[in-house]
Structure formats: C-alpha cells, structure tokens
Amino acid sequence: MDQALNGFRVIDFGQYIAGHYASMLLAEQGADVIKVERPSGDPYRREPGFLVFNRSKTAMSLDLKTETGKRIAGDLIRTADVVVENFSPGVAHRLGIGYEAVKEINPRVVYCSISGFGQTGPYRDIPGWDPIVASYAGVYVEQGGGIENRPLYLVLPLASYYAAFMAAFAVATALLAREITGKGQMADISLFNAILGPQSTYISEFNGKIRMPGAARSGQQGMLPLYKLYQGSDGKWFFLALGNFTFFTKFALAMGHDEWLMDPLFEGAPFLILPPRNTQLIAMFQEMFAARTRDEWVAFLQSEDIPCSPVCLVEEFMNDPQVIANDLVARVDQPGLGKIREMGVPVALGLEPGAIQGPCPGIGEHTRMILENLGYSPEKIEELKRRKIC
C-alpha cells in the first residue's frame, strides 16, 4: 500500500537511541532507510531496544574512517533525500559527512543532526548522554521535588525519545519546505531542547505563577488530592484523574458527597487545591479508599464515567484489549530470536497507514545489494569486503 514517505531515501548514521528511533519512524511511513554501521557493529546492538529502533531498515556496513569509505558514503548521499546523524557535534564533519560536505554533494538533502545540546552554545561539547542532558534540563531535581529534596533518576530515557519524535517532525517539515522551495536544509535537534518543551508548564516565568513549596511537590504518588495515586484495601494502586471540574462533580455525586462541591476545603478544584488543604484531603481520601479493594474502586468509578486506572506492568499493557484493538502490538519475525512482540506504528494515517517493513537487519546484511545498486561491480565489492571497508 502507498505510504506518505514512499520515494524518499534516508541515510541513517544514527547511534544509540535518538537517531535510530527517528529514522525508524520515517521508515514506517514508507521511507527507504539505509542504516550505515561500522563493520565491527553498532555498540548498542546488545541493548534490547536496538531491535525495535532499527527494524524496517536495510543495513550497510562502512568504515567512514577510510578514504574509500568516505567516497562510498558520498555515493550513498548522492541518492539520498534525508541524512540523519547523531554523533557528537564536530564528529560528522571529521568523518566527511558534515552538512557542509553533504550539501556540496547533494544540495537537496534534508540533513538532521541530533545531539545532546545542539550544534551551538556553551554546552555543545558536553557528552550528550541522556541522564547528563536530563540533569542540566532540570528533570531529576524537579521530579524529586526541588533543590531541597533528593533528585529522582528516571528510568525511561525521555530526552532521547522526545528528541526522536521532534526529529521525525522536523525532517517531515523540511521535506514539506523542499516541496515548496526546491531546497534542502539542516535541522539541528537536541535532546536538551526536546526535553524542555515537555517541561514547559513549570519551566516558565510570569506574573502570578503559583509555586508549590518543594516539600509539597515531592510526594512521588502525586500531591494533588483529586489527581493522584491511591491504594485500595488490598494495597494495590490506582490513579484517580479528576482532570476537570465536571469530573470532580461526577465523583462527588458518585461518592454521595454533593456537599464537597460547595466546601471551601475543595476550593481550587481540581488542580489548585493548595497546601495545607491538599494533605488534609489526601488523608481523607486514602482512608475512604481503604474500605474496598482497588479493583472494586476502579470498576465502580469507571461505571460512573470517572477517569481512573489501575497501575499495571508493561507486560500487562501488552495484553490490554484496547492496545490490541488499535493495532499497537506488532509481531516481528526476528532471525535468531523468533517471534518478537513489540510496539506497532504510533501514528496512523487513514489512507496511507504505516507498517513495519521488516525485522532489524544484521550487521551489513544488505551491503552487497546496496553497493550493486550504486553501480559497484562484484569484484570491487569483494575487494571492499576483504579490506574491511564494508
């Protein structure tokens, strides 16, 4: 079936997470993505996420540190619409695949650089590991409750993931611009910039901003009484999400407490119930919810159309009927590992639905085919392999 990015070729010089993931998002909307990898293999191959971030691609091995390798990269770039790289700033330039060099070879290329802190500014050369970026960007301190508390390291590499989404958006936007102007350009995406947007609610300054004191923010199960994790009598957890006044109203009525709607204790509901009233209400609700099991509460609240959810493990979510009904669990045949269940395509176009194009390729699995398509003779290819350039 036709897909939105059919006819576009992407050369993926990605590393680690963000570059690989961005290219994968392009591949599943129809782009022809060639993953270029050092002949010794990508050091990230050991990680389980690698299989997901690199599926749907073809793979070519290439030693960019040799002159011949650089020439072959040039041949690839000549055929490309998009180049994605996420080396440290300056490295792509040294390898001969920096934007200046690429533009010389192919001025129509959309060139996407992904780095920790971007191509400019004082932190440019700080190694862009996800937790380094997250620390500078305030993520762990704010999750911990501010500087008077201990920070909390987050398990999910959020900055890398958001950077991948932002990069895919930026590449598509630059391709759209190219349809209008005929010109390629460079996009400068950083993990740092990508994780600022998701924090924009509290990384902000304006008159009348309400600042919760640090200690009041530090509860890791939430500190807003109407928007928080609670436990049932069995100790199991659920999240109560009264995200607007209508749901607060439904909740008060369902619980048989219409008077809450007029009670000054609830002033500011749902999001602006300030200390000390918040802790007072939290204690009251926790006691109330201790009367029945978690599943009883969730069933009752859901029957009253009140937003809430039990806390589940990701493996439970992978069997969730809603997730399956929306085609969000894919099965991929991965040579060597068998059938893998993994994420489906996270953006669905009605007429041109994306699709997983194939499993994660082995190191250099398609090198020969790609070189043949570039016009290299079988003898030449053998020689390149012998010299360990490809």
* Residues between 267 and 296 with contacts to another protein, criterion CB under 8 A: 271-272
Cβ at position 151, least distance to another protein in Å? 5
Minimal CA–CA distance to 201: which of 212, 189, 190?
212
Shorter beta-carbon distance to another protein: residue 99 or 376:
99
Cβ at position 288, least distance to another protein in Å? 19
Which amino acid, 30? G
* Residues between 170 and 229 with contacts to another protein, criterion CB under 8 A: 170, 172-177, 179-181, 183, 185-189, 192-194, 196-210, 217, 220-222, 227-229
Q: CA 107 → CA 173, 209, 300, distances in Å?
A: 17, 47, 61
Shorter beta-carbon distance to another protein: residue 13 or 99:
99
**58 Cβ contact partners less than 8 Å away, ≥ 6 residues apart:** 32, 33, 34, 35, 361, 365, 366, 369, 370
Cβ at position 211, least distance to another protein in Å? 9
Shorter beta-carbon distance to another protein: residue 320 or 382:
320
Cβ at position 49, least distance to another protein in Å? 3
* Contact status: 328 vs another protein (CB under 8 A): yes
Shorter beta-carbon distance to another protein: residue 308 or 371:
308
Q: Torsions phi, psi of 112, nearest 5?
A: -115, 115
Residue 10 near residue 23, CB atoms below 8 Å: yes
Binding mask 111-130 toward another protein (x if CB under 8 A, else -) reads: ------xx-xxxx--xx-x-
* Contact status: 300 vs another protein (CB under 8 A): no
Candidate ranges 57-65, 284-292, 304-312, 377-385; the one touching another protein (CB under 8 A): 304-312
Residue 50 near residue 44, CB atoms below 8 Å: yes
Binding mask 3-22 toward another protein (x if CB under 8 A, else -) reads: -xx-----------x---x-
Shorter beta-carbon distance to another protein: residue 259 or 303:
303
Shorter beta-carbon distance to another protein: residue 208 or 375:
208
* Residues between 307 and 326 with contacts to another protein, criterion CB under 8 A: 307-318, 320-323, 325-326
Candidate ranges 66-74, 169-177, 283-291, 355-363; the one touching another protein (CB under 8 A): 169-177
The C-alpha atoms of residue 300 and residue 251 are separated, in whole angstroms, by: 11
Q: Torsions phi, psi of 184, nearest 5?
A: -85, 175
Cβ at position 20, least distance to another protein in Å? 10
Burial (Cβ within 10 Å: 0-12, 13-18, ≥19) of residue 115: buried
* Contact status: 82 vs another protein (CB under 8 A): no
* Residues between 15 and 54 with contacts to another protein, criterion CB under 8 A: 17, 21, 25, 29, 47-49, 51-53
- Residue 33 corresponds to which tokens in the numbers above? 């993505």
Q: Which DSSP helix (H) or strand (E) runs through 227?
A: strand 227-231
**35 Cβ contact partners less than 8 Å away, ≥ 6 residues apart:** 12, 14, 20, 23, 54, 57, 58, 59, 60, 361
Minimal CA–CA distance to 250: which of 208, 324, 291, 301?
301
Render 32-91 in DSSP notation, one character per residue.
EEEEEE-TT--GGGGSTHHHHHTTT-EEEE--TTSHHHHHHHHHHHHT-SEEEE-SPTTH
Candidate ranges 68-76, 153-161, 277-285, 369-377; the one touching another protein (CB under 8 A): 153-161
Shorter beta-carbon distance to another protein: residue 287 or 379:
287
